[in-house]
Amino acid sequence: MSDPHYDFIIIGSGMGGAAVAYALRNSGARILLLERGGHLPQEAENWQVESVFAQSRYKTAETWTDAASGASFKPGVHYFVGGNTKVYGACLPRFRSEDFEALEHEGGTSPAWPISYEDLQPYYALAEQLFFVHGQAGQDPCEPPRAKPYPFPALPHEPTIAALCEKLRSQGLHPYSLPMAVDWREDGGCIRCTTCDGFPCKLHAKGDAERCLVMPALQHDTVELWTQTRALRILTTADGRHASAVEVERGGEHLTLHAGGIVVACGAVNSAALLLRSTNSAHPKGLANSSDMLGRNYMMHNNTALTAIDPRKTNPTVFQKTVAINDYYFGDVDFPFPMGNIQALGKLQAGMLSAAVPGLPKALLRGLARRSIDWWVMSEDLPDPNNRITLGTNGGLRVHWQPNNRAAHRQLARRAAGMMRAAGYPLVFTQTLGIETNSHQCGTARFGDDPATSVLDALCKTHDLDNLYVVDSSFFPSSTAMNPALTICAQALRVADHLQGLELLA
């Protein structure tokens, strides 16, 4: 390579890294986007339940360690161009205005963010446009203010879900249309199939970071993508004030790539691990870790999958993920603390149940799946400095995580079950998920105004280094109880605006 020097190296092509690459595409800066995986192939297996769920075809084969038990587990992460957005459920809500403020929970305090909802609102609007988000304002009882309507109308409910919404309204609830990033535009490719939530889209009709951000960025000669390239360490200048280069492994070869600025976006766990691995004499505890906060305050939501069944009738719904409930987001009369969000899952299929509950007769599982309505019950996971990411003696990832705020989550699950029984679904089954269900991981490099208690400033620059940024969900000081992807994108776009105003260090 004749010129290994870039203006910016961005490590990770998921929502955060891809958004920065996209936003800088016209800046004139020379940008290198690194991805440890490759392009997720368009193939028949994209839509096969057995391949995706039972065989975990697209999940990483690596294992992490539960530090409490010593047991290894396969994390819910996917190393491809576009990151986890290649298989996410494409639900892109904004956080609530109050989520940016300090909130008292039954299990403790959710801290204030160093920015407000208003700081992100224009970037939320841009992100919704980039991801062709379909939604309807005015239905969600706790939605934040909007300067603009959704770019596209909400996805229509199929008849069974529409009828359920009427039953929920009769209970005094306010079901609202989920904001969804699927290409249901006039000439869009979405066919509203059963294989969206948790599956790759074989038609490229899902709003993922590869399609919406990486591919447009690569139309510019100044943006370059390297796949199958793993970042090993970040190097600094001798005084430790500037990140100078990235050591990578590519095709069995170790290379050192130099840049004027480095943007880390590997996911909350892997970003923390990369910085922890990058020790040197100026940063003996890892880069940007003078506060000893790096890797700490790991969060991943309290999650329960709820399946409600009316044995007397089937549910022919194909695309189920169109509705959610936020009536309990900030509590109710009987439990005056935040509880969280209830949102429809993609339609349950028998093969998914087989993977989750092996050993049951397939005929029974098929019968249950044909009759179920399926929900994801999600509550806030509060920051705890003892919930953290560390490196094992062999460099492996160790996850220290003990769930908290469980009383609020139990209350929410109880209300979700109650609303479905009242709607005519007498059989309700729940499964609370554990440490391996970490697709909403966040918090390991929290941003804040005080360098003694945070890793990043309000523009996601590390306090300790002048040109090192972290733009994935690592920066979250709290997890809220909403899907994180849109907020990651909005903040990354905001950070990119700041980067364009800098005098490049190249």
- Scanning the structure block, which residue is given the tokens 């190296």? 9
Instruction: Count other C-beta atoms under 10 Å from residue 223's C-beta.
Output: 23
Burial class (CB in 10 A: 0-12, 13-18, 19+), 185: middle
The closest alpha carbon to 22, from 221, 217, 224, 262, belongs to 217
- Residue 449 vs residues 18, 333, 446, 492, 499: alpha-carbon distances, Å: 26, 35, 10, 18, 19
Quick one: what percent of the chain has pLDDT higher than 90? 92
- Residue 440 vs residues 62, 115, 174, 319: alpha-carbon distances, Å: 18, 21, 25, 22
What mean pLDDT, rounded, does the chain reach?
Answer: 95
Burial 340-357, CB ≥16 within 10 A → b, else e: bbbbbbbbbbbbbbbeee
Q: Yes or no: say if 205 and 183 are a contact pair by the CB < 8 Å rule.
A: yes
- So what's the pLDDT on residue 351? 56
Distance CA 283, CA 281 (A): 6
Q: Yes or no: say if 52 and 351 are a contact pair by the CB < 8 Å rule.
A: no
Q: Which of 16-20, 331-335, 369-373, 470-474 has the lowest mean pLDDT?
A: 369-373
| pLDDT per position as a tens digit, 229-286 | 999 999 999 999 999 999 999 999 999 999 999 999 999 999 999 999 999 999 999 9
* Residue 288 backbone dihedrals phi, psi, to 5 degrees: 65, 30
Q: What does the pLDDT average to over 51-57?
A: 93
* Residue 162 backbone dihedrals phi, psi, to 5 degrees: -60, -40
Q: What does the pLDDT average to over 219-237?
A: 98
Q: Say yes or no to pLDDT of 397 above 90.
A: yes
Q: Say yes or no to pLDDT of 362 above 90.
A: no
Structure tokens, 175: 């079901």
- Residue 161 vs residues 156, 342, 419: alpha-carbon distances, Å: 9, 14, 14
The closest alpha carbon to 218, from 469, 495, 24, 472, belongs to 24
- So what's the pLDDT on residue 354? 45
Structure tokens, 191: 């066919």
Q: Say yes or no to pLDDT of 3 above 90.
A: no
Q: Say yes or no to pLDDT of 213 above 80.
A: yes
| pLDDT per position as a tens digit, 103-158 | 999 999 999 999 999 999 999 999 999 999 999 999 999 999 999 999 999 999 99
